[in-house]
Amino acid sequence: MQLTDHPDHVIRHLPRSCPGCGASLDGAQETEMERRQVTEIPPVRAEVTEHRLVEVACLCCGQTTKADAPVP
């Protein structure tokens, strides 16, 4: 897969010590960088919408009326 120039997250991994002499590499000059990207597709999850059809009583005559369900 081709690398993107606009990743969602970037994590820099720096070596801590020199494998040759064991000295700390804190503050050492960067000489190169290799980019590797991991593309993850989040799991598919069902989304549930509950429709509550409310019934109300008229203040004048007392007749009750319930809302219509939305058309899918």
* ∠ CA 23-28-32, rounded to 5°: 115
Q: So what's the pLDDT on residue 1?
A: 85
- Note the pLDDT tens digit of each residue in 37-72: 999 999 999 999 999 999 999 999 999 999 999 988
- Judge contact between 3 and 35, C-beta under 8 A: yes
- Note the pLDDT tens digit of each residue in 16-43: 999 999 999 999 999 999 999 999 999 9
- Judge contact between 4 and 37, C-beta under 8 A: yes
Q: So what's the pLDDT on residue 36?
A: 96
Written as six digits, the tokens of 18 are: 């020199």
